[in-house]
A and B are shown apart, each in its own frame.
Chain A
Amino acid sequence: MRKRFKDYIKPDTLEGVFSSIENAPDESQIIAGGTDLLLERSAKIEKGKKILIDIGGIEDISKITIKDKELAIGAGVKLADIECSKLVREDFPILVQGVKEVGSPQIRNLATIGGNLCNGSPAADTVPALLVLDAIVEIASSQGVRDVPLTEFHMGPSQTILNRNEILTLVKIPEMEKAFSGNYHKLKTREALDLAFVGVAVLLIDHRDTIEARIGLGAVSPIPFRSVEAEKYLNNSQDFSDKSLWHAAEIAANSSSPISDVRCSAEYRHEMVKNMTYQSLRKNLDQLRGALIDD
């Protein structure tokens, strides 16, 4: 319905947000970029939500900073700004790859990282990259803040662990002090605007004596996730032969639970997890080894 909301508040501070929520907890709906909430066919908004609380005016959560060896991206930072940020491009290129896949340039000028996470789409392009970067989300309420690993943030499609009086304020990524190579690969049909059929993020970190593999998968299960079994296999075996990489890729595919939908079949998604994981492992391994040799 067009006249869904009866009020709109745009506080300057987080405290303002919390007190607005407290005034009408059942009716409050946080809005950031609005690109999911305002869709004509958006069924995401619960029936009783009548008051929009716009977090776009809060400076504290609209910045990208480095602090205590962590990159902290405010939940209100637009995806386009992450894409252009020198900091992020240099130190966390895999995140830029994920961000660039969302929607279109216009959408990215509106959408926020916080919104993308809180929307909770199983196919969200930012999440697999953030998962392999060991991202932590800071959640705030009038009671204070708490940190939650991103791996524990999503509970199901469109479901997060946020309580009614909480908002996501920061996405924190530990700085990478070692050499690494990673990429996010999205399988889609068109080169723009498409939602992911499958999303695979792979990050390999050089710990000198060992290589650590991290694999993040999107669009192939109710929530994006780290394929822990595949990672364990590689990290324990330290076998990075072709045969082993394929084996890891198979484990990753088996760890996913894709569905068939209007885009493609579950069977195809399964195959693609396998192929794309192998290719990313291979490519990043070669890059890492190449970089090491250059050293």
Chain B
Amino acid sequence: MNKFKNIGKSLPRVDSNSKATGKTKFISDLVRPGMLFAKLLLSDRPHARIVKIETSDAENLKGVHAVITSKDAPNRRFGLYLEDRLIFPETVVRYVGEPIAAVAAESEDLAEQAISLIKVVYADLPPVFSLEDSMRDDAIDLHPDLESYSGIHDYIRHKNVCMDARLNIGDVTEGFTNSEFIFEGEFSSQGMHQASLEPHSCMAELDINGRLCIWTGTQQLSVCHKEIATALDLPMTDVRVIPAWMGGGFGGKLKSQFEPIVGLLALRSKKPVKLALSREEEFLTARPRAPFKVKIKTGVSKDGVLMAREVDILADCGAYADHVIGTASHAITISQGPYRIPNCKARARVIYTNNRDWGCMRGYGAPQILFAVESQMDEIAYALGEDPAKFRLKNIATEGDKLISTQPFLALRARETLEKVLEESQFDQKKKELGENQGIGISTSLVLTGLLSSSALVRINEDATVTVITSVTDIGTGTYTVLTQIVAEKLGVPFEQVAVACMDSDTSPYDTGSIASRTTYDSGNAVRLASEDIIGRLKNIAATTLNCKAEEILYDAGKAFIKDNPARSLSFEELVGLSLYVHHGPLIGQGSWIAAKPWEEKIGEGYGEAPYGTFMYGAHVAEVEVDPSTGKIAILNYTACHDVGRALNPVGIEGQIEGGVAQGIGYALYEEMVLEDGRLVNPNFTDYRVPTALDIPRVAYQIDEEPDPTGPYGAKGIGEPPIIPPAAAIANAIRDAIGVRITSTPIKHEDLYFKLNFRESHQGNNFVTTQVKERK
């Protein structure tokens, strides 16, 4: 029985009405009188020295108000993990699509014309496209000043490698020595674009104080604010950032991207300036998920117990490190999957190339590593003659087991979610019943959340409505609704009485942002703390008014009352009235939350990740049918189970699962950024295939709720977990169906066709090796 009024209820989203009527203002909808239009000049070379940029013709075009290049920007490096970039490159361009200049003009047409009038003389430099080439001793240095870059951590760096991190637990050598079988595999995954329906957009203007004010669609208001200020070499108080609604983020709109450029244009022209990327520019210059290569070696005892694992990840960050450092770090941290493996070694290298400016996307390294881990788990099961479900359950993490980073598996639900999905999908029965060319496959999910910090204010207004002030943006996942539910529940007021304030860097307190599935857990905890702060103050007012000690007061369901004499009570409205003019003063509650205590000792080598607050578990089962005449894959049924701690808003959870699975299927079967010599061959929705309504099946799911005591009302998160399993679940189902193992994503029907029908000549590709070395 749900004892809560707001928690656990599928309350309609606070933003739904406005979105349904088209009233919501998205960032690309903002207009100002006299607004100028910005356009970027993108490099068309993968690697070149900029000999000369001639802008005078552009500057002289009537209607053009500003033309900027690197000489107009502060010479201040910035970047999240590593400060390796400038607003515009000064001397060297590093990828096709890198912005090297920008204009602001009175119309989009004029802006385009102005761009075409800028003359650039390049001197081509040898480009580097392969990871192996980039790491060679004689490779060209893509960042000659790499050693001098500041970073949030003292990363180990060498030739074109901006992060070389290692983790170790137990004794891997002994683990392999004691293994009966050793399995080695190589897996790779593609560059995947977030493909948010709204391309990047931002608008800069001078506010009523004449200060630079940038409106943007950002997932991280605070981080974006700091980075813009750093890039522009201004104190944070001289820059104001205001988020507008955005049409999708998925990790593509983190920190800052084009805001410093648009800010400079506004400062130059003294007019509002708006940038709205076209879809092609969005593909060329925004930062998609980085491609990874994963080598995975696993040792198993003769009883099928996992003994040791060694993982080596090569991540292509392209021109700049950006979030790839974080994704590679997260990936090695979870490189065991949700399994007990006491002896592990993992290494991740993040490597510069001229392939793109890679960034990150939902899952943050987990899709790439777990595709490898879960694909190999099936291969091991096959080799040992074990059922893939039972093999997993035999090795599933239990209380006390640890990640390679030494954190114990927190809030463990790995076994339960796997068992539930097996039951819901009728795995055992289906495995026997499925026919020719049909198969069933499993994959688990493991994502770490509880990241960094959040803060919030709760302000009680004179009419007893409640305003929640935070800087965590709602990117469409329902964050504001969930935060409203938490505060309404805590304070015991109706849902409709609480509202999340519009955000503004001037007034919204720090939050790490809408990333890493953390908004329910971290931001939710911050608003919980702020609400509890309010309750503490309300209790004080009640004690004073009712003439007793504060310890004698309880607060529940919107009332403060004396424990031993509940009839003596004061309502929330009464307390608010008293606070303003009689006792205590205006009610403002604050909550400041940090997800985890720092490490007590040094972890790993060159490893910069902090501990996480909690872990999220899950498992999926996919049933597929392969058409042998074409290699095409049909998904017959799909089942998911996710551990959410507590479903604060069940319909919201369902939507995240269904949407995450859809993106995971896109990752598994449809989406790939195809590069040829550093040039993107498919910068459009025709050949970059986002799944349509005819491509995504219904998902049967079970939601596992075991309250996490560290989460607000026991809640964890759900944003990323569902995107992770589809790739391996489908690959494993294909393996079950037709005996073909694909080790790279996306899985192409052409590959399946040839591997199935021409086994001898199409046996392997560069990435396939699965060997079993039997030891006596």
A interface, CB within 8 angstroms of B: 1-3, 40-41, 187, 189-195, 262-265, 267-268, 271-272, 275-276, 279
Contacts and interface: CB of A to CB of B under 8 A. Distances in A.
Contacts of B684: 41
B28 to A, nearest CB: 16
Contact of B692 (A1, A191, A271): A191
A1 B112 contact: yes
9 closest A-B pairs by beta carbon, nearest first, are A191-B694, A192-B692, A275-B629, A268-B750, A2-B109, A264-B750, A262-B681, A192-B694, A190-B695
Contacts of A194: 689
A275 B108 CA distance: 49
Contacts of A263: 687
B630 A2 contact: no
Contacts of B280: 40-41
Contact of A190 (B112, B278, B692, B748): B692
B630 A275 contact: yes
B55 interface: no
B686 interface: yes
B750 to A, nearest CB: 4
Contacts of A190: 670, 689, 691-692, 694-695
Interface string B675-716: 000000110111101011111000000000000000000000
9 contacts: A1-B112, A2-B109, A41-B280, A41-B684, A187-B632, A190-B695, A191-B695, A275-B629, A276-B629
Contacts of B691: 190
B510 interface: no
A40 B692 contact: no
Contacts of B754: 267-268
B278 A40 contact: yes
A195 B686 contact: yes
Contacts of B434: none
Contacts of A265: 750
Contact of A268 (B674, B682, B753): B753
B749 interface: yes
A269 to B, nearest CB: 9
B631 to A, nearest CB: 8
Identify whether the interface residues of B are mostly helix, strand, loop, or mixed. loop
Interface in B616-642: 629-630, 632
A265 B687 CA distance: 15
Given A262-B687, A272-B630, A193 B278 contact: no
A189 B694 contact: no
A187 to B, nearest CB: 6
B748 to A, nearest CB: 8
B692 A189 contact: no
Contacts of B693: 192
A179 B629 CA distance: 29
A190 to B, nearest CB: 5
B686 A2 contact: no
Nearest to B750: A268
Given A195-B687, A262-B681, A275-B629, 13 more contacts: A3-B109, A40-B278, A40-B279, A189-B632, A189-B669, A189-B689, A190-B689, A190-B692, A192-B694, A262-B674, A263-B687, A268-B754, A279-B629
Contacts of A41: 280, 684
B514 to A, nearest CB: 29
Contacts of B112: 1-2
Contact of A189 (B108, B113, B670, B674): B670
Contacts of B686: 193, 195
Contacts of A195: 686-687
B736 to A, nearest CB: 22
Contacts of B632: 187, 189
A18 to B, nearest CB: 32
Interface string B74-118: 000000000000000000000000000000000011001100000
Contacts of A187: 630, 632
A1 B113 CA distance: 8
Contacts of A192: 692-695
A96 B689 CA distance: 25
Highest count of chain B CB atoms <10 Å: which of A265, A268, A276: A268
Contacts of B682: 262
Nearest to A2: B109
Interface in B104-138: 108-109, 112-113
Contacts of A279: 629
B125 to A, nearest CB: 27
A50 to B, nearest CB: 16
Contacts of A272: 630
Contacts of B757: 271
A193 B753 contact: no
A272 B280 CA distance: 31
Nearest to A198: B630
A190 B682 CA distance: 16
B477 to A, nearest CB: 25
Nearest to A187: B630
B734 to A, nearest CB: 15
A125 to B, nearest CB: 14
Contacts of B109: 1-3
